[in-house]
Amino acid sequence: MKILAIGDPHGNIAKLKKIPKNKIDLILITGDLGKADLARKIAFENVERRRRNLPELEDTPELEYKIDMEIYKSSINVLKYLSKFAPIYFIYGNVEPYAGERPDKNRKAPWLPHEIKKIKNIKAINNKIINFKGIRIGGLEFFVDTNWIRDFKPSDYKEKLAKAKKQTEKAQRVLKLFGKIDILLHHQPPYKTLDKVTAKFAPKHWRGKNAGSKTILKYIKNKQPKYSFCGHIHEGEGFKKIGKTEVYNLGVCGYKIVEL
């Protein structure tokens, strides 16, 4: 059986077309399905503005709609294209809007999780174990680990640390329930593993720091899944072993085919 794992597509159909998909039985995606150029530009600019004690860019309904639709349309296009070749299991990354809950009634863009359900052979596996022909695959939803908050020190530190603690505790419970699996599908890399921020578009005070998760690292060290697939830190694309686990940061549309 052949499994194709693909890194964060970010709506790049041209790159996806270059990936070999012959006789693939299953496709896994590490999150960030859609294009998020506008969202990233504004988010990073606001990080810098907060550091300089300047007011953030105004968040208007019109701007929200443009951001949401850029992500929504490109995400749907990615899934419709790849679903022609094999069933798809994926997790949501930090780009997808409203991945966990229905959006506020004032948001006009379509709700992505609802629309995805209309496409055949596609399933989000956030915090779920899927048994695919005897292969146990665990999908861990994106979360902000407490170590990221402590290292990157975002604005509203105390509030964000409290929120990250809840998310991290949830991730720890999920991973405990996963136990021993064959494949871990997650968004951010394990800590100090293919996770160093070096991108020129990232805020200057982020560069050189490790943005991975200590929670994920601890799980991999203890449970040793056969494969670990992630993305998120695109410049960290590559391969590294943690014990017997093969960890692949697949970047943007990078891929790995494994036979099990």
Q: How do residues 141-159 score in pLDDT, each as one tens digit?
A: 999 999 999 999 998 899 9
Where does residue 246 rank: exposed (0-12), middle (13-18), buried (19+ CB within 10 A)?
middle
Confidence at residue 36, expressed as pLDDT on a 0 to 100 scale: 86
With 80 as the cut, is the pLDDT of residue 97 above it?
no
Q: Check whether 16 has a pLDDT greater than 70.
A: yes
Q: Is the model's pLDDT at 100 over the cut of 80? A: no
| pLDDT value of position 236 | 98
Q: Among 99, 44, 93, 34, which Cα is nearest to 67's?
A: 34
Report whether 247 contacts 230 (CB < 8 A). yes
The DSSP letter of residue 158 is: H
What pLDDT shows up at residue 27?
98
∠ CA 101-105-110, nearest 5°, is 70
Q: Over 70: is that where the pLDDT of 94 sits? A: yes
Output the pLDDT for position 61. 85
What whole-number distance in Å separates Cα of residue 29 and Cα of residue 244?
Answer: 22
The answer to whether the Cα torsion of 169, 126, 59, 104 is positive or negative is negative
Question: Beta-carbon neighbour count of residue 245 at 10 Å?
Answer: 20
Strand order in the sheet with 227-230: 128-132, 135-139, 183-185, 227-230, 245-249, 238-242
Q: State mean pLDDT over 99-123.
A: 84
The pLDDT of 211-216, averaged and rounded, is 98
Residue with tokens 């899934």: 79
In percent, the amount of the chain with pLDDT more than 70 equals: 99
Q: Does the pLDDT of residue 193 top 90, yes or no?
A: yes
Q: How far apart are CA 87 and CA 103, in angstroms?
A: 27
Which residue type sits at 145?
A: D
Pair type for strands 245-249 and 122-124: unpaired
Please report, in angstroms and rounded to a whole number, the separation of the first and last CA atoms in the chain.
Answer: 5
Residue 47 in this model has a pLDDT that exceeds 80: no
Helix (H) or strand (E) holding 47: helix 37-51
Region 10-23 average pLDDT: 97
Task: Tell me the average pLDDT across 69-93.
Answer: 96
List Cβ neighbours of 35 (8 Å cut-off, separation of 6 or more).
10, 11, 12, 70, 71, 74
Better pLDDT: 33 or 59: 33
Count of CA atoms in the C-beta half-sphere (13 A) of 194: 26
Tell me, what's the pLDDT at 231? Answer: 98
Q: Which residue has the tokens 């506008």?
A: 38
User: At residue 135, does pLDDT exceed 90?
Assistant: yes
The answer to whether 92 and 31 have CB atoms below 8 angstroms apart is yes
Q: What value does the mean pLDDT of the chain take?
A: 93
Q: How large is the average pLDDT for residues 228-246? A: 98
Residue 107 has pLDDT above 70, yes or no: yes
pLDDT of residue 62: 87
* CB-count burial class (<10 Å; 0-12, 13-18, 19+) for 244: exposed
Average pLDDT over residues 172-188: 98
CATH superfamily of 2-259: Metallo-dependent phosphatases (3.60.21.10)
- b/e per residue 84-118 (b: at least 16 CB within 10 A): ebbebbbbbbbbbbbbeeeeeeeeebebbbeebee
- What pLDDT shows up at residue 109? 86
